[in-house]
Amino acid sequence: MTASGAWWTPWREDGSAVILHVDLRPDPGREARAFALLDEDERARWNRFVVKGARRQYALCRAALRINLCHRLGCSNRELSFGYLEHGKPFAKVNGAPSGSNFNVSHSGRHGLIGFAKRDGLGVDLEVRTPGRDFDGIGSRVYGPRERLALSGAAGREKADLFYRLWSLKEALIKALGTGFSLSPSRFEVPRPMIEGERSAVFRFPHLPSEPFRLEDLGEPRFAAACAYRLMG
């Protein structure tokens, strides 16, 4: 895949993570090229999506992930496959053997993110903001006391922005931990400075105080987004 034909671009980078933005707008040519890269299991999963937009998101993100993993691992697309951990988090395999490459994917609407890190414990999340939802009602089920208090004090566009900002931060942390929603998001809160608007902080899950994570707010006008990764001990 040449640079001119790519539907992803470098987006953010720091010492521990590289994040790509994936363009998920409808494009029949891109979608056909992406679908051709999927293996049999991925095509079966693609076929199970009922909504056409979900098929497009999956194919474009998965193919972009495949191309970039092959480049990083020095393998062909045919040699690359995926396995899944207990709670569904995928990992890359080359010729059937775990590769050790760490990545995470998120997409919403017409935008996707793919993160790569040198070590395990990476989570990225992207949320396109949708106005008019019952933010307080949903927040009462997924947010902690300080988060709910901040949400109740906001109104209009500010409330929507805060809801999605908090959700992207919590989702990135859950994905970095790798346990899926076996851990309820209501059982932990993002650091107080980030509730109040700071863009980054160190976070520790209440049940894992010895494992610090770096949490980054990557939100921008197009969408809310976050990245979390485990810090070295």
139 half-sphere exposure, CB direction, 13 A CA radius: 26
Domains of the chain, each with CATH number or no CATH: 3-119 (3.90.470.20), 125-230 (3.90.470.20)
Residues 208-218: what's their mean pLDDT?
Answer: 94
Measured distance CA(157)–CA(29) in Å, rounded: 36
Concatenated DSSP letters of 91-149: EEEETTEE---EEEEEEETTEEEEEEESSS-EEEEEE---TTS-HHHHHHHH--HHHHH
Q: Which residues contact 116 (CB under 8 A, 6 or more apart)?
A: 17, 18, 19, 20, 68, 72, 101, 102, 103, 122
Confidence of residue 130 (pLDDT cuts 50, 70, 90): very high
Measured distance CA(137)–CA(104) in Å, rounded: 29
Report the chain's mean pLDDT, rounded to a whole number: 93
Side by side, the strands of the sheet bearing 80-84 are 80-84, 90-94, 97-98
Q: What is the pLDDT of residue 218?
A: 96
Per-residue pLDDT tens for 140-158? 999 999 999 999 999 999 9
* Tokens 């496959």 -> residue: 81
pLDDT higher than 80, residue 83: yes
Confidence of residue 14 (pLDDT cuts 50, 70, 90): confident
pLDDT higher than 90, residue 5: no
pTM flag (> 0.85):
yes
